[in-house]
Amino acid sequence: MADSSDEDFSDDWVLYSRRPEWSDITPLPQDDGEHPVVMIQYSERFNDVFGYLRAIISAQEKSERALELTKDAAKLNAANYTVWQYRRDILKALNADLYVELSYIGRVIADNPKNYQVWHHRRVIVEWLDDPSGELALTETILDMDAKNYHAWQHRQWVIKNYNLFDDELHYVDRLISEDMRNNSAWNERFFVLKHGGFTPEVLEREVNYVITRVGLIKNNESPWNFLRGLLQQGTGKLGQFPIVVEFCEALYNDGIRSPYLLAFLVDLYEEQYFDVIESGSGNEAVAEEYHQKVLDLCESMANQHDKIRCKYWRYIAENFRRKASDHASAGSGRNGV
């Protein structure tokens, strides 16, 4: 069975065993033990390249030819940690031009954008150079191919945080969200940038208005609902801390919107408001009872209609709320009796 990456080699590529300049090296075969459970049928090219790589590593040869050998090994298996680690050892030993390496690994990433090892190699080279100037452009190119590539986002966040490149990131993220409001990675990046700057009252108010506008465009979109919850955990930590959010959600509900994300938000909001009324000691039992019933009705609606796959979860939430409400009432009665 030929390795799928064999196709990356040109037709005139020659096995190392047939190259005169490598005649001084005896390749080392892979040692799978006396009784391997599963014998992998590597291609002739794969066995050839990695046989010579093992021999080079064993001899600790760090030369230009060894550097080229690691390129062929990476073509065959870009996820091989040892290939990249030894390549870095050679680069250091040769005092190689790291900008040439940066260009090379950029091309490798373009061909293997979801490979952890190639991104890690890129990070190390950037750290050695202490030059992040090409990283935002690289990650933007990769994210143009797949806007949810975890490795690209991880690398982008690393370089932004370590080299303080936050300035224009909100503009970039806003463009991505405008292109695809369901891009959870872009919403996550927005939160990452905001957290760095701090959730001041002004920032929270601006972002709350930003996110409810996007929710209004696509109601059944989990990403902005998660972002909204994340925002509201800041400030006072209360879901109801911004009246505009409460009014917005209740208006959606009254307009007949039954997005499970809206209903789940309302369950938590009304539970919060119920206990706020109870703990305020205002004696407004009618309002408290209204919130109490809303929580139970919404849980039942989720279980029977809008989130039936998690019906047991919503019945648990309802029962747990009843228990907490009962415990709170019992505690209150005990205090009054004293």
| d(C-alpha 273, C-alpha 87), whole Å | 60
Q: pLDDT class for 11, splitting at 50, 70, 90? A: confident
Within a domain: residue 55? yes
Residue finishing a domain among 39, 67, 87: 87
Q: Is residue 83 part of a domain?
A: yes
Q: 């373009």: which residue's tokens? A: 110
Residue 275 in domain: yes
Helices (H), ranges, 164-259 = 169-179, 184-197, 201-217, 222-232, 243-254
Asked if residue 75 belongs to a domain, the reply is yes
Neighbours of 21 (CB within 10 A): 8
Which 8-state DSSP code applies to residue 7? G
Judged against a pLDDT cut of 50, whether residue 251 lies above it is answered with: yes
Q: With contact defined as beta carbons under 8 Å apart, do 235 and 201 qualify?
A: yes
Q: Which two tokens stand for residue 91?
A: 């680069």
Expressed as residue numbers, the domain containing 58 is 9-87
Count of domains forming the chain: 2
The domain boundary, picked from 87, 118, 145, lies at 87
Residue 335 has pLDDT above 70, yes or no: no
**Could you report the per-residue pLDDT of 169-218, keeping only the tens digit for each?**
999 999 999 999 999 999 999 999 999 999 999 999 999 999 999 999 99
Q: Does residue 217 belong to any structural domain of this protein?
A: no
Selecting among 71, 75, 92, 114, the annotated active-site residue is 114
In a domain, 228, yes or no: no
Q: What is the mean pLDDT of residues 238-263?
A: 97
- Tell me if 203 is assigned to some domain: no
Task: Give the least confident one: 31-45, 126-140, 218-232, 281-295.
Answer: 31-45
DSSP-assigned letter for residue 306: I
Is residue 63 situated within a structural domain? Answer: yes
> For residue range 111-149, what is the model confidence (pLDDT) as tens digits?
999 999 999 999 999 999 999 999 999 999 999 999 999
- What pTM did the predictor assign? 0.89
Residue that is last in its domain, among 87, 102, 124: 87
pLDDT score at 2: 36
Whether 195 is a known active-site residue: answer no
The pair of three-digit structure tokens given for residue 177, joined into one six-digit string: 């969200």
What is the C-alpha to C-alpha distance for residues 260 and 304, in angstroms, rounded to an integer? 12
The mean pLDDT value for 236-261 works out to 97
